[in-house]
Amino acid sequence: MNKRRLLLCTDMDRTVIPNGEQPEHKKARQRFYDFCSLPEVSLVYVTGRHQNLVEEAIKHYRLPMPDYTITDVGTKIYKVDGDEWSEIEEWARRISQDWNGVSHQEIEIILNGFSDLQIQEHEKQNVHKLSYYVSLDINHKSLLDQISKCLESRGMNASLVWSIDELENIGLLDILPRHATKLHAIKFLKKQLKYALHEVVFAGDSGNDLPVMGSDVAAVLVANASKDVQLEAKKRAIESGNEKKLYISTGKNSDRNGNYSSGVLEGIEYFMPSFQELFKRL
Ligand SMILES: [Mg+2]
């Protein structure tokens, strides 16, 4: 039996996709590609994107093919085998219980009363996910608070995930079943695939990655993450007693810059010393 193995769960945008303002190291993506091709590594993309947009990014950015993909911010999990994607139905069944039988359409009608919410494009919605744009000019904390109370009053167990699209300068709000987070989806997959906790590493860069940053899953925050996210990730890791499970890439101890996939690899090297000799060959 192969003793050394890794379930690498990584966010896509601005984590392995270099679509932020900071520069990508010119060798970073090829090195990441080669690393993910190792037989010891199973790759899971964990993203807000839906299936088509994941496939588009893989092609466009020449990213390695994943073994599994958690899409739509944790609401869907697929097994990926070449071009074939099969949804794991058990996951959909589990998370649907959180909404107390209230449908997507009913929630949309309920939230019509909040004039600060602007519904996102049709392809960004799914059975277990409502996504909205919110202007950055308003007090989003008080808006989220009001929405939470409104959904709770209907017996719904929902989570509200707030993040910012820095390129478009707009707030993004996802309303999901409570257990449909990146963190719960990763834990579900870990259990299904029978990985031990020390064999799992997560990498991310922004708001919807924070629940994993403050958990017992080893998590890498890439160097290009904003200062706010870095501070919040540290705070959550300390508060939950998981300080040692968070690594913020710097690029300082290597000839790479710590941004995007270079930062992901730096974090894996930190958490998985048994992979060190493999890194030398990349
Ligand atoms: Mg991201």
Looking at the predicted structure, is the pLDDT value of residue 8 above 70? yes
Q: Give the domain CATH number at 61.
A: 3.40.50.1000
How do residues 13-37 score in pLDDT, each as one tens digit?
999 999 999 999 999 999 999 999 9
Which residues lie closer than 8 Å to 211 by C-beta, 6 or more apart?
181, 182, 183, 236
Q: How many CB atoms lie under 10 A from the CB of residue 213?
A: 28
Instruction: Say whether both 202 and 239 belong to one domain.
Output: yes
pLDDT > 90: percent of the chain: 86
How far apart are the CA of 222 and the centre of ligand 1, in A?
10
> Can you give the residue range of the structural domain that contains 159?
98-177
Q: What is the mean pLDDT of residues 90-109?
A: 94
CA nearest 28: which of 36, 40, 16? 16
How do residues 173-218 score in pLDDT, each as one tens digit?
999 999 998 999 999 999 999 999 999 999 999 888 999 999 999 9
How far apart are the CA of 12 and the centre of ligand 1, in A?
6
Q: Please give the pLDDT value at position 2.
A: 54
Looking at the predicted structure, is the pLDDT value of residue 114 above 90? yes
How far apart are the CA of 18 and the centre of ligand 1, in A?
10
How far apart are the CA of 17 and the centre of ligand 1, in A?
8
Q: Please give the pLDDT value at position 161.
A: 87
Looking at the predicted structure, is the pLDDT value of residue 73 above 90? no
Instruction: Say whether both 171 and 191 belong to one domain.
Output: no
Instruction: Say whether both 220 and 236 belong to one domain.
Output: yes
What is the Cα 176 distance to its own chain's centre? 14
Looking at the predicted structure, is the pLDDT value of residue 1 above 70? no
Residue 82 maps to a domain: yes
Question: 158: pLDDT confidence band, cut at 50, 70 and 90?
Answer: very high
Domains: count for the chain? 2
CA angle 14, 15, 18 (to 5 degrees): 50
